[in-house]
Amino acid sequence: MSDKLKLGIIGVGNMGSSHMRDFAKGNWPEIELTCVADTDEKKFELADGIVPGIKCFPSATELINSGLCEAVLIATPHYFHPPIAIEALKAGLHVMSEKPAGVYTKQVRELIDFAKTTDKTYAIMFNQRTNCVYRKVKEMIDSGAYGEIRRVSWIITDWYRTQSYYNSGGWRATWEGEGGGVMLNQCPHQLDLWQWLCGMPSKVKAICHEGKWHDIEVEDDVSIYVEYPNGATGTFITTTGDCPGTNRLEITLDKAKILVDDGGKITLFELEKPLSEHIYSAQGGFDRNPCTVKEVETDGKNEQHVGVMNAFAAHILHGEPLVAEGAEGINGLTISNAAFLSSWLDQTVTLPIDEDLFYEKLQEKIKNSTHKKVVVEQVQADMSNTF
């Protein structure tokens, strides 16, 4: 291997072209972008405009077998992430996948199991894990200084989208094309951060309103309630129909409350005594547990996609840590799959979910769709026609 990682990008849409611009700006010092692929050959002109002379392929298969790269970055519609990743790993290439890892956990689990049989790196683009705010919150929770989590609430409703947004692509907001709405498109990062910070729940109860605010068939308004193994509870509320929206994360621990507001400011409410002690030791029925309030400082670093890609290269070239291993992509997806299943069945779902049942219900959604279809299974069966 050379002193730079030779990389190919599969999919020259919004994210793929954004990654190309990061390379063109010199933000990837240890990566050489050698080629791109897209089924829409009109994108080749866009690619050449960003990186003059870049080699372009009309399919993922041709790029993967070209011999021009040692790794690929997959930036295609969601259903294609796992099959393209498997094809690249089989060809001996390292893989970075955009979020989400896939649409349903059964498919992603197959990818993870296959990746374990290879000596290649499979990573996922959880760029929000580089955000200094969430890194600091995780550090505070993991320190154990404030005890166990008792309650968590995340209101993430600043994803406002118009009908025009959903009309911009035939695959958007369809069960067959995208596999979901706000949970699969906008919220994979927050669902990942939720479990990264607080751990995986044991039970999920959700209401997923489909086409509540838009003319779409997938969910655009979601309320999730979860229970954790230690008895803690959590809520996650999201939509693409609120304007102005809110991004507020509140985590209550035994000896503190951590609040992250819309502006990304962290406020710590540190209690004088742990709640588990004060509730029983206080002499008066209305006694308050004194607390100290302070704003928490961070290191200010927020490298986002560039940080993830540079860590990916450094991991392959020098053995340094990844921002997120690909296997971790199944966790947030498990929560969204569980929320869908809970809403569809109108019952609480216990983790691990019944992956076969979820797939069966998803296929029913696809079969009964009245919106434009993109025939995903046919495209997946013929990888020469994919991105």
Average pLDDT over the chain reads 95
> What share of the chain has pLDDT > 90, as a percent?
93
How much is the CA Rg of the chain, to the nearest whole Å? Answer: 22
What is the spatial distance between Cα 329 and Cα 333, in angstroms, rounded to a whole number? 7
Q: What CA–CA distances, in Å, run from 15 to 21, 103, 343, 385?
A: 10, 18, 30, 20
The DSSP line for 169-219 is -TTTT-TTTTS-STTTTTSHHHHHHHHHHH---SEEEEEEEESSSSS-SSE
Statement: residue 2 has pLDDT above 70 = no
Name residue, tokens 């004194």: 290
Fold of the domain spanning 5-127+304-323: Rossmann fold (3.40.50)
Name the architecture of domain 129-296.
2-Layer Sandwich (3.30)
pLDDT tens digit string along 107-143?
999 999 999 999 999 999 999 999 999 999 999 999 9
Q: Is the pLDDT of residue 192 over 60?
A: yes
This prediction's pTM: 0.94
**How far apart (Å, rounded) are the C-alpha atoms in residues 371 and 367?**
10
Q: Cite the residue boundaries of each domain of the chain with CATH code 3.40.50.720.
A: 5-127+304-323
Residues near 77 by beta carbon (within 8 Å), at least 6 away in sequence: 11, 171, 177, 178, 387
Q: Where in the chain is the domain with CATH 3.30.360.10?
A: 129-296
pLDDT one-digit tens code per residue, 33-66:
999 999 999 999 999 999 999 999 999 999 999 9
pLDDT category, 170, cuts 50, 70, 90?
Answer: confident
Judge contact between 102 and 108, C-beta under 8 A: yes
pLDDT of residue 169: 73
